[in-house]
Amino acid sequence: MSPADGESKVMRLPGTVAEIEASPPGPEVGAFFDLDGTLVAGFTGVLMTQDRLRRRQMSAGEFIGMVQAGINHQLGRSEFEDLIGKGARMLHGNSLSDLDELGERLFVQHVRNRIYPEMRALVRAHQARGHTVVLSSSALTVQVEPVARFLGIDNILSNKFIADEDGLITGEVAEPIIWGPGKAHAVQKFSAENGVDLSKSYFYADGDEDVALMYLVGNPRPTNPAGKLAAVAAKRGWPILKFSSRSGSSPISQLRTLASLATIPTVAAGAIGVGLLTRNKRIGVNFFTSNWSKLLMLTTGIELNVLGRENLTAQRPAVFIFNHRNQADPFIAGRLVGVDFTSVGKKELEKNPLMGPLGKVMDAAFIDREDTQSAVEGLQKVEELARKGLSIMIAPEGTRLDTTEVGPFKKGPFRIAMAAGIPIVPIVIRNAEVIAARDSSTFSAGKVDVAVFPPIPIDDWTHDNLSERIDEVRALYLDTLRNWPVGDLPDHAIYHHGKDASEAGR
């Protein structure tokens, strides 16, 4: 067997995106996803109960009753119906529109950052194959619908409040209750009505009550299972998916992050010492940027799987650009660039207790995007540093939500490259969401994929064709994220411009 054959088998293990990409296409294949503990870390119902308690919309006695019902949920159907019934009765008299607003607010504030990025990738993979994707959950629509909208899932099977003619909740839940055998029946009915073949379908869930439905599908995928489901999965040989990327609030992740921050004074002291001994500030700064980033990755358990590492040093100085999704991205890019660079960041970072002082030492520019004159002056300062031999690290887009999207690129980074006469090196980061949610300041252990492309020459770039060239660079990011390379990095049309210009000058 050739190495390539072995790699193919590994890449298509059950429960991977590669397996889905090789699966039969079409809507007759169903992909059913549970919510709590499967798509989302933790339980969305607990978040809603905590919110009501904080807002004094429920008494301590009611809260204790909900917690007790939640514990009993592990026992069987009657206890689950008791749990969901208590929730419905407490919301008696509220309007459905108010609940929709509550669900959306809780999603933005608490739930969005709990969605497992690995599960989001599986949802996308099923959608790309044209499968019928369904969010099937025993939770209520107020919990389920915001997640479904975010993930682009049109089909929902969940429990629903009963409302009167004025749109006010009566305190009852529509029957039959979707839980355990009831969920299995709902999935069977949906499949029959929509031409879904369960023998070809997938089911992702974590709860013991979902064992019956696991038996109905051809591709059962227990996800973060425990108890009975884990035992049945082991006995039946079902592939088990386990994720910890949304455990950022766990004590272990917090301690790791604190430990990495605790290394700053030690590394900074060493950097000052090196700078004094060599009488060279830049050597001291290089000592800090290279050594602290190594310690950060080591302490937090972050691994980088880098394609094209040789392109990081192929030509210096350069403008290193990276796609920006969360707090981890700048650290990842900084770890790769390593030495002899400065950076450009938004004005708000200047007041950050970590990034502010570090940026000043590195002569970084903090740009106020609302103040055009100030932004121009900041970029001019960076251009001068680039002319003196420093590379520039900068994110050309604003932070966005979805890792398969790339926001519009601003012209600043490319104008710096043109003014200084240095190339652009694209750093494409695929899955930093595995180690940190968008606004999280705590990092989880994990492996991040990065592709570093060869330097892009700007010899033939002009103000007239700048927008076109920027669009081509952005297209490189989009193409790479949609079709992640294996082995050598693919060629791209943008590289031929510089090549043609170079050959024309011979």
The stretch 314-337 carries a mean pLDDT of 90
Q: What is the pLDDT of residue 97?
A: 83
CATH superfamily assigned to domain 24-236: HAD superfamily/HAD-like (3.40.50.1000)
Residue among 398, 383, 415 nearest 346 (CA): 398
DSSP secondary structure, 408-464, as one string: PPPSHHHHHHHHHT--EEEEEE--GGGT--TT-S----EEEEEEEPPPB--TT--TT
CATH topology for 301-504 is Glycerol-3-phosphate (1)-acyltransferase (3.40.1130)
- Rounded to 5°, the CA angle 139-142-144 comes to 55
To the question of pTM greater than 0.85 for the whole model, the response is: no
Highest mean pLDDT among 145-159, 171-185, 356-370, 491-505: 145-159
| Tens of pLDDT, residues 25-61 | 999 999 999 999 899 988 887 676 666 666 665 554 4
Mean per-residue pLDDT for 145-153? 94
- The CATH 3.40.1130.10 domain(s) of the chain lie at 301-504
Residue 3 pLDDT > 90: no
Q: What is the CA radius of gyration of the chain?
A: 26
- Report the pLDDT averaged over residues 140-157: 93
Return the higher-pLDDT residue of 495 and 63. Answer: 495
Specify the DSSP class assigned to residue 26: S
Q: Are 346 and 366 in contact (CB under 8 A)?
A: yes
- Between 285 and 230, the higher pLDDT residue: 230
Q: Is 472's pLDDT higher than 80?
A: yes
Query: Among 170-179, 187-196, 268-277, which stretch is predicted with the lowest mean pLDDT?
Result: 268-277
Higher pLDDT, residue 497 or 110: 110
Question: For position 71, what pLDDT does the model report?
Answer: 44
Question: Residue 462: which pLDDT band, with cuts at 50, 70 and 90?
Answer: very high
Residues of the chain with CATH 3.40.50.1000: 24-236
Q: Which residue has the higher pLDDT, 495 or 472?
A: 472
Query: For 411-436, what is each residue's pLDDT tens digit?
Result: 888 988 998 899 999 999 998 888 77
What is the pLDDT at residue 504?
41
pLDDT of residue 4: 40
The model's confidence at residue 401, banded by pLDDT at 50, 70 and 90, is: very low
